[in-house]
Amino acid sequence: MDDATRDGTSDADLLALHVAGDPEAFSEIVRRHRDRLWAVALRTLGDREEAADAVQDALVSAYRAAHTFRGQSAVTTWLHRITVNACLDRARKAASRRTAPLAETERLEQLLEPHESAAAPAERGDLHRELLQALATLPPDQRAALVLVDMQGYPVAEAARVLGIPVGTVKSRCARGRARLLPMLTHLRADGMGSPPLDGGRNRSQGASVPPPAGQSDADPVKGGGGRA
């Protein structure tokens, strides 16, 4: 199958081609979804190396488990679920072995999107840093829910499918996370009437998905390449 034909092939069909032995099909899936998976992993873990390893782990798992995909959800939902689980596994392991936390300024600078750290007003950069600093204090499960819903723009129902948990659990984790963040964010309120959204105003309606960050530095290639797992 040539590239032009492959571009019009659905994710589910590409996964089926991969299972059938097509050596290039999974690489196309990786090309399509890697940036979104990277954005979720980076915001959930707050560390580039850990995020790259988590995405690589997830892609290897997806590569090997492709035959188990039954089409009960979209391929992108399936990939995000595997990636979030890989992130949560790494976050829990890191918490159990951590002796000296990474400097907050270094970690938060890594999380800033290129167009914000370079071109946005200084006040917006400061706001984003404080929002991310507060987000990093949450338990991994609450952080993952808030990253998907409040930063990536997933509807709650879709976030529930990604996380493999009930809708009510997503709502509960988001509510608990926001309640923990509120005292840390009160001073950021512009008008005293309400706290800013976690994404600094980029998120839209619950039904709209926010595209992955622009620019190459926040969409680093995954080490090793998923197609050769």
Terminal Cα distance for the chain, rounded: 21
Return d(Cα 174, Cα 180) in angstroms, integer: 10
Q: Which two tokens stand for residue 210?
A: 């926010």
Name the nearest CA neighbour of 171 among 146, 188, 153.
146
Q: Are residues 22 and 79 in the same domain?
A: yes
Query: Both 112 and 196 in a single domain?
Result: yes
Per-residue pLDDT of the chain (229 residues; tens, 9 = 90+): 555 456 689 999 999 999 999 999 999 999 999 999 999 998 888 788 889 999 999 999 999 999 999 888 899 999 999 999 999 888 877 766 554 443 443 443 444 443 333 334 444 556 666 777 778 788 889 999 988 998 888 899 999 999 989 999 999 999 999 888 888 777 665 444 444 445 444 443 333 333 333 333 344 444 444 443 4
The CATH number for 31's domain is 1.10.1740.10
Same domain, 147 and 96: no
- Residues 42 and 119 both lie in one domain: no
**Is residue 184 in a domain?**
yes
What was the pLDDT predicted at 130? 74
Q: 186 and 120 in one domain?
A: yes
Task: Count other C-beta atoms under 10 Å from residue 49's C-beta.
Answer: 10
Burial classification of residue 156, based on how many CB atoms lie within 10 Å of its CB (0-12 exposed, 13-18 middle, 19 or more buried): middle
pLDDT value at residue 80: 95
**222 inside domain:** no
- The reply to whether 86 falls in a domain is yes
The HSE-up count of residue 59 (CA atoms within 13 Å, CB side) is: 29
If asked whether residues 110 and 161 sit together in one domain, one would say yes
- The residue out of 37, 67, 100 marking a domain boundary is 100
28: which 2 tokens? 């196309």
Residue 119 lies in a domain: yes
Residue 219 covered by a domain: no
Q: Are residues 205 and 137 in the same domain?
A: yes
Give the DSSP letter string of 179-226. HHHHHHHGGG-SSSSSPPPTTTT----TT-PPPPPSSSTTSPPPTT-G
Greatest Cα pair distance, the chain, in angstroms, is 59
- Per-residue DSSP letters for 53-116? HHHHHHHHHHHHHGGG--SSS-HHHHHHHHHHHHHHHHHHHHHHH-SSPPPHHHHHHHHS-HHH
pLDDT for position 106: 41
| Same-domain status, 95 and 120 | no
Q: Are residues 157 and 124 in the same domain?
A: yes
Which of 73, 100, 127 is where one domain is finished?
Answer: 100
Among residues 128, 143, 156, 133, the alpha carbon closest in space to that of 91 is found at: 143
- The DSSP element (H or E) to which 161 belongs, if any, is helix 156-163
| CATH code, 195 | 1.10.10.10
Number of domains in the chain: 2
Asked if residue 129 is part of any domain, the answer here is yes
**What residues make up the domain containing 164?**
104-212
Tokens of 164: 């493999």
Same domain, 146 and 59: no
Q: Are residues 112 and 207 in the same domain?
A: yes
For residue 214, give the nearest of 3, 76, 36 by alpha carbon.
36
113 lies in the same domain as 76: no
| The pLDDT value given to residue 211 | 35
Q: Which residue has the tokens 């492709």?
A: 66
CB neighbours (10 Å) of residue 194? 8
